[in-house]
Structure 1
């Protein structure tokens, strides 16, 4: 779930939202069929298990994918997890480059 949906998740777990009210929230966050995840969400609600909205909002993901990280405003960056940046020269990225180098999905940009 996107981080800007945290209040709706809290309302769901606390029983303030019906299933009919929550389904559109789920649909806005995920393209998966509600029926595949319904039992998990019902279990969390019935047992008061907190749910945490960890995903970056779609608008930010789309903006970065189209315009790059530098297109984000200071306010948008402030709302990202601490340490988030666009550094592609890090250990994790280098590992991915090596792992994908010989795969069919590798492109010239990864080589």
Structure 2
């Protein structure tokens, strides 16, 4: 019985016989159908590595661009409510080699609520 089935499948594959019935088309070779390749694989980089690269780029830009330095100072001091807190964050940026001339004080930054 298995030999007869194998012979029938082989004959259908070579085209010597035409498979019939409801399942007959399943035994014939189908034409090539293109398949969507999908999205490229996600990078395997650790997101923290990318974050560090981006942060380093921002700090590098802030060393020469006053607008970037100002935005960075605003980011670091937006929750500061006292002058010592503001000065501590400003000093942190200066320690990271951002020129103090590019970092405004509380008055220039418009921080009227810093005491």
Please tell me the TM-score bracket, short chain as reference: under 0.3
State the TM-score, normalized to the length of structure 1.
Answer: 0.26
State the TM-score, normalized to the length of structure 2.
Answer: 0.25
Higher relative contact order (CA 8 A, sep 6+): 1
Larger radius of gyration: 2
